[in-house]
Amino acid sequence: MSTQIMQLSPSEVYEFITTALVCRQVPYVAGPPAIGKSQVVYQVSKDANAEMVDIRLSQYLSEDMTGLPERDDKRGKAIYLPFEMFPLEGDPIPKGKSGWIIFLDELSSASEEVLAAAYSLILDRTVGGKKLHEKCLVVAAGNRATDSAIARELPDTLITRMLPCEMKVSTKDWLIWAKEFKDANEHVVAFIDKNPNMLYAPTKASDREELETYAQPRGWEKTFAHMNFHERKSSQVERTDQAGMPTGDFSAGPISEVVFNLMSAAIGSMAARAFRDEYDESIQLPYPWEVAQAPSSTRIPPTNVGKSKMIHELSDFFLKSDEQSRDSVLSYVNRIGGEYSQLFLKKIRDSLGSTQSDVTLIDRTGKRLSIDPLLDTAPEQGGFGSDQTTF
């Protein structure tokens, strides 16, 4: 079904929020759970050098928003005293910061009373009758009423006073973020790069068992930690060559059952099983020197991630090899064929320059792999034997 609501990628949401704040208006980011809405807001706050005030409205009472009543002895009246988390006129700006961003998260999950109390903050920039600091800006976010979440449709009086948009999942944006994330795991990133449809694969709540989860960006971030733990704690296994002889190289062993269970809890058993199968295959790859010695008999990895990793290793080996080894590598790549031939040529092209010898090597490699120089495509089967803005 078509929608009139703007559906933006995380990088587009980032620009949407920052521009709205420059205009001193309140952006509202809606979307399903676990896709990274909060992370985008945190990135905006970090880049703006602003102090983040994170308010999860689903956990708040109305008096948390309005403040507590107190008697004003001079005037003989009752007043409200807002809580310290709200920056008010006259408050000192935090040292080293440019101001504040109040993040009203889980807005659509707030109670009626809290929503009513949030009106004055969003619409009038007041808390308990007192004005927010002029260096304090407001961003809101929440799940959609149609999601499997505790969320309601927001009233028109609130929606029309904010700038609503809906965030969608973008594998491209996620990969950019993941490749910069200090705790990312290269095997998880490579898996999503090769299987982009696995980043976000929700199923209807009615089709899931109680507590059953599914693949989503938040879960894959948790999987980083699971795989990093596996690689730190796993018993190192000595690799063997095609003949079964030890090579002296060691790598983490296959994913253990307990790590697999953790991943299943984060991204669902289907995605966890697909990842485990490809990972366990990838750590048993042939060595490039084995390919150079026996290109026609060295086994081809059966999984996509195994083939992709093999191509990356072979491209590095190719550039450092003599003509005979290069010919053997190209024979092997032709056996894999299809998109992997294109990937190999791309890796070679990206690593070389524009000298005449470089151009000649690229041209010869493309012809040897039966890649059309105009279309930059290869046959489905091998030709000789049978693939900033961060948040």
State residue 267 phi and psi, 5-degree precision: -125, 5
What's the confidence (pLDDT) of residue 249? Answer: 54
**Tens digits of residue pLDDT in 308-319:** 888 988 999 999
Position 64 confidence tier, pLDDT thresholds 50, 70, 90? confident
User: CA neighbours within 13 Å on the CB side: how many for 276?
Assistant: 20
Q: Could you give the C-alpha distances from 233 to 256, 258, 357, in angstroms and in order? A: 10, 12, 46
Position 250 confidence tier, pLDDT thresholds 50, 70, 90? low
Query: In the numeric block, which tokens belong to residue 141?
Result: 């976010």
Q: The whole model's pTM is what?
A: 0.72
SS (H, E, C) 103-169: EEECHHHCCHHHHHHHHHHHHHCEECCEEECCCEEEEEEECCCCCCCCCCCCCHHHHCCCEEEEECC
For residues 283 and 117, the model is more confident at 117
What's the confidence (pLDDT) of residue 307? Answer: 87
Q: What value does the mean pLDDT take over residues 361-382?
A: 71
CA 207 – CA 188 distance, rounded (Å): 27
Three-class SS of residue 234?
coil
Residue 356 has pLDDT above 80, yes or no: yes
Residue 292 has pLDDT above 90, yes or no: yes
Position 386 confidence tier, pLDDT thresholds 50, 70, 90? very low
CATH topology of domain 7-168: Rossmann fold (3.40.50)
CA 35 – CA 216 distance, rounded (Å): 6
CA 12 – CA 30 distance, rounded (Å): 13
**Tens digits of residue pLDDT in 4-62:** 788 999 999 999 999 999 999 999 999 999 999 999 999 999 999 999 999 999 998 88
Q: Which of 17-21, 104-108, 236-240 has the lowest mean pLDDT?
A: 236-240
What's the confidence (pLDDT) of residue 350? Answer: 92
**What separation, in Å, do the N-terminal and C-terminal C-alpha atoms of the chain show?**
29
Nearest to 216 by CA among 171, 267, 146: 267
State residue 97 phi and psi, 5-degree precision: -110, 160
Strand arrangement of the beta sheet that strand 50-56 belongs to: 7-8, 163-167, 27-30, 136-142, 99-105, 50-56
Chain centroid to Cα 156, Å, comes to: 32
**Tens digits of residue pLDDT in 67-79:** 777 777 777 776 7
What's the confidence (pLDDT) of residue 388? Answer: 33
Bridge-based pairing of strands 27-30 and 163-167 is: parallel
Q: In 10 A of CB 46, how many CB atoms?
A: 12
What's the confidence (pLDDT) of residue 66? Answer: 83
**Tens digits of residue pLDDT in 135-190:** 999 999 999 877 756 677 888 888 888 999 999 999 999 999 998 999 999 999 98
Ordered by start, the domain boundaries in the chain are 7-168, 169-284, 287-387
Residue 331 has pLDDT above 80, yes or no: yes
Three-class SS of residue 239?
strand
For residues 270 and 243, the model is more confident at 270
Q: What percent of the chain has pLDDT over 90?
A: 57
